[in-house]
Amino acid sequence: MESVENPDQTLADMPIGAVSQIQKLSGDMELNRRLREIGFYEGAIIKVQGRMPFHGPMVIELDSCSLALRLGEAQQLIVRRCP
C-alpha cells in the first residue's frame, strides 16, 4: 500500500530558498491576529531567506519585505511548498 505524502508542513520545516503558500494559521487567537497584522494570512506567498543558529529566528520574505519570525511562531504557520 502506497503512503500519501502530506504536502502541508510548518514554515519551520521549510529549507532556505523554499517558496510556500500559507494554508492555515494554527496558533492561538492573539498570535494569529498579530501574524495577520503584519501580512501572514492564508494564501500569502512567502520565501525562507535565512535561519539564525541555535533555533533562532527565521528570515522570511513577504511582499518584497524581509521579516524575522521566531521559530515558535513559524511552527504555527501551516504552509504548502510551491512548485
Does residue 72 fall inside a structural domain?
yes
Alpha helices in the chain (DSSP H): 29-37, 71-74
Does residue 56 fall inside a structural domain?
yes
Categorize the per-residue pLDDT at 6 as very low, low, confident or very high, splitting at 50, 70 and 90: low
As a whole number of angstroms, the distance between CA 27 and CA 19 comes to 21
Whole-prediction pTM value?
0.87
* CATH number of residue 65's parent domain: 2.30.30.90
- Domain span holding position 46: 8-81
Does residue 13 fall inside a structural domain?
yes
Does residue 62 fall inside a structural domain?
yes
As a whole number of angstroms, the distance between CA 6 and CA 17 comes to 20
Does residue 51 fall inside a structural domain?
yes
Q: How many domains does the chain have?
A: 1
Q: What is the mean pLDDT of residues 41-69?
A: 96
As a whole number of angstroms, the distance between CA 52 and CA 26 comes to 23
Yes or no: say if 44 and 38 are a contact pair by the CB < 8 Å rule.
no
Query: Residue 72: what residue type?
Result: G
Q: Which one is predicted more confidently, 2 or 58?
A: 58
Does residue 74 fall inside a structural domain?
yes
pLDDT at 5 over 60: no
